[in-house]
């Protein structure tokens, strides 16, 4: 898995027309990983997937797209799945699947605020408040499945599992899907 906080903020780069900085940073890191013998890369940031099509072909071939992995999971869903994500993912509809629904912009803004809170201070109070928000959104949007489509939201999924919280909705976590994908691929290779 490729997670490098030194890469420029993906949303800010897009907003400021500086996407080239993100693309060159990705290509540089991917080339460095290739020199280390890495043949498959998963980029954990869903917002970063706004840039994948702009990478050179050599870099693209090494990347396993977590959005495609998430879409495969959504294919298995009978019901609609509420996508909780950053504002950039929402604005660009990065997860474009027939079973995916995005909340209203004001609700995405609330999620975005929690993304920053989780990023700055990953504590029980923040997770409890976020889980309350998610519960309310599950009722508002009448869904039993919610995708935590942001790296920081994955931390709330970890919190939920560590505390064995029973929730009335199913959490779909792209990072968990990616980890299972890696495990399954390595079992097949052995």
Q: What is the mean pLDDT of each run of 10 residues along the chain (190 residues)?
A: 75 84 91 90 88 90 93 93 95 94 97 92 91 96 96 92 90 94 77
* Domain annotation covers residue 187: no
30 shares its domain with 93: no
42 shares its domain with 131: no
Q: Which of 43, 64, 85 is the last residue of a domain?
A: 64
Q: What are the angstrom distances between the C-alpha of 110 and each of 85, 105, 132?
A: 10, 9, 12
55 shares its domain with 93: no
76 shares its domain with 94: yes
* Domain annotation covers residue 24: yes
159 shares its domain with 96: yes
49 shares its domain with 82: no
* Domain annotation covers residue 5: no
120 shares its domain with 56: no
Q: How many domains does the chain have?
A: 2
Residue 85's SS3 state is strand
* Domain annotation covers residue 188: no
168 shares its domain with 79: yes
Q: What's the CA gap between 167 and 160, in Å, rounded?
A: 9
92 shares its domain with 170: yes
76 shares its domain with 160: yes
The model's pTM:
0.88
34 shares its domain with 101: no
Name the residue among 98, 96, 99, 114 with its Cα closest to residue 46. Answer: 96
Q: Which domain holds residue 16?
A: 10-64
CB neighbours of 101 closer than 8 A, spacing ≥ 6?
A: 80, 81, 82, 83, 141, 143
Phi, psi dihedrals of residue 100, rounded to the nearest 5°:
-90, 135
31 shares its domain with 111: no
Q: What's the CA gap between 98 and 84, in Å, rounded?
A: 16
């Amino acid at each position: 898995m490729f997670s490098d906080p030194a890469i420029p903020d993906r949303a800010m780069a897009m907003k400021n027309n500086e996407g080239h900085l993100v693309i060159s940073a990705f290509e540089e890191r991917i080339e460095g990983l290739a020199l280390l013998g890495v043949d498959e890369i998963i980029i954990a940031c869903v917002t970063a997937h706004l840039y994948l099509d702009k990478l050179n072909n050599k870099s693209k071939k090494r990347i396993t797209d977590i959005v495609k992995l998430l879409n495969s999971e959504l294919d298995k869903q009978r019901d609609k799945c509420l996508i909780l994500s950053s504002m950039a993912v929402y604005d660009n509809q990065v997860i474009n699947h027939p079973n995916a629904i995005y909340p209203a912009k004001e609700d995405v803004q609330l999620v975005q605020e929690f993304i920053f809170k989780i990023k700055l201070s990953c504590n029980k109070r923040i997770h409890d408040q976020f889980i309350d928000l998610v519960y309310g959104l599950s009722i508002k949007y009448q869904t039993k499945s919610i995708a935590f489509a942001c790296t920081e939201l994955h931390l709330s999924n970890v919190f939920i599992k560590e505390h064995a919280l029973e929730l009335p909705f199913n959490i779909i976590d792209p990072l968990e899907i990616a980890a299972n994908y890696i495990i399954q691929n390595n079992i097949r290779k052995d």
